[in-house]
Structure formats: structure tokens, C-alpha cells
A and B are shown apart, each in its own frame.
Chain A
Amino acid sequence: GAVVSQHPSRVICKSGTSVKIECRSLDFQATTMFWYRQFPKQSLMLMATSNEGSKATYEQGVEKDKFLINHASLTLSTLTVTSAHPEDSSFYICSARAFQGASDTQYFGPGTRLTVL
């Protein structure tokens, strides 16, 4: 099956710093990638939809200036958490939809655990 990677897998940072998370589709091209956030013992909540070559679409309540998304190529989307605070600590998961996909199956990355001190 298709493979999606995320880097880093785990990051600890100080409050006020910015953190960049990469999401890569390794063996297919993805015009659309999705970013989710998951708090402990909760479900995945969609943060934004990342479209290659255009601006991301953010879900209600998600600050676009705080969570910067760049989808510069068909295999890479990045999420930058700017001026991170302890309440941003969470598990961030990306997914990618195949470039030529009739199926709605999304391929998920392994997630990035962010801890803000």
C-alpha cells in the first residue's frame, strides 16, 4: 500500500518557539493532504486541508496564522506551529490522498508527538 511519512516523530520545544512538521507521500503523488490533531484519548480532529499549489483550507476554530501549512510539491506538505504554547501539545497526524484516486481512502502518516514545555 501507499506510504506516508512524517518527520519528526517526536519533538519537545520551549514555549514561544516554532515547530515544523513534514508530511511526505513516498510512492505516490498527492494533490491533497490533510492535517489532523489528536488529544489524548480523543478522536482525530481535522485541522486543515492542504492543496498543492494553493492555500490551505482551515476548519472552523483553527487559526491559520498559528498553524501555517505549505504544500509546495505533490509529495510534501509542512505544518508549522508558530509561537507554540503548552496547549498546542498534541499528536499531529497527516494523511494524503492519491493523485489519481477514485477511492476515498486516505493514507495516514505515523504521527508527530509535540510537547511544548
Chain B
Amino acid sequence: SQQGEEDPQALSIQEGENATMNCSYKTSINNLQWYRQNSGRGLVHLILIRSNEREKHSGRLRVTLDTSKKSSSLLITASRAADTASYFCATSGSARQLTFGSGTQLTVLP
């Protein structure tokens, strides 16, 4: 079963704007990861944040994790048309399996 929800389900912004996606989960985790998926393609790993971390950066990506609220956010700064894709959070717990969120479809308009 899916771990949690992502919001918004869909997000449309202009190139250059920032995009923020949120993810909520239900059980305790070891880490939380964000993936990107272009239409009809496989997943690309973006960033991993461990349960004892609160914030992590990678290039134009910024991820936060609040374990007390069981939530995470992904911020993409200065978005580009090429950032158009679906973004999924995935949690990993004691079983070391990944459980995916429902995903956010991001559209960046040129």
C-alpha cells in the first residue's frame, strides 16, 4: 500500500519560478528519497535525506524533513522547462523497501 500522499497532485509554473512539492508519510522511516520520472520512463534518483537530517541541498534542489510531522518537501529553484516531470517521494523503513507517495506532476512553462 502507498505510504502517503503528495501535494499538490499537479503544479504548473513559469520558467524561472520556484516549485515546492510536499510529501507526507505514515510510519517511522530510516530515510526519505525523492525521484523524478519523465513520462513513460524509468525513475531517476534525486536526493536522499536520512531520518536524523533536517535539510539537504543538491544543486537547485532543497529537501527538508520533519519527522515529528512525518512530512518532507522538495524545492526546485529557478525552474526550467526540462524540469517538467513527475516527482515522487519514497520512504524506506526497517524492511529497507521503498514505499512511494502518490506523486506530483510538475509542468514548467517556457
B-binding residues in A (CB < 8 A): 1, 6, 34, 41-46, 49, 91, 93, 95, 97, 103-111, 113
Contacts and interface: CB of A to CB of B under 8 A. Distances in A.
B101 A111 contact: no
A66 B31 CA distance: 32
A111 B42 contact: yes
Interface residues of B, number: 23
Given A34-B97, A43-B103, A44-B100, A104 B42 contact: no
Question: What does DSSP make chain A's interface, helix, strand, loop or mixed?
Answer: strand
B48 A104 contact: yes
Interface of chain B: mostly helix, strand, loop or mixed: strand
A91 B98 contact: no
B33 interface: yes
B101 A105 contact: no
Contacts, number: 54
Contacts of A45: 2, 100
B92 interface: yes
B110 interface: no
Nearest to B98: A106
A11 to B, nearest CB: 14
A93 B97 contact: no
A15 B40 CA distance: 23
B52 to A, nearest CB: 14
B48 A103 contact: yes
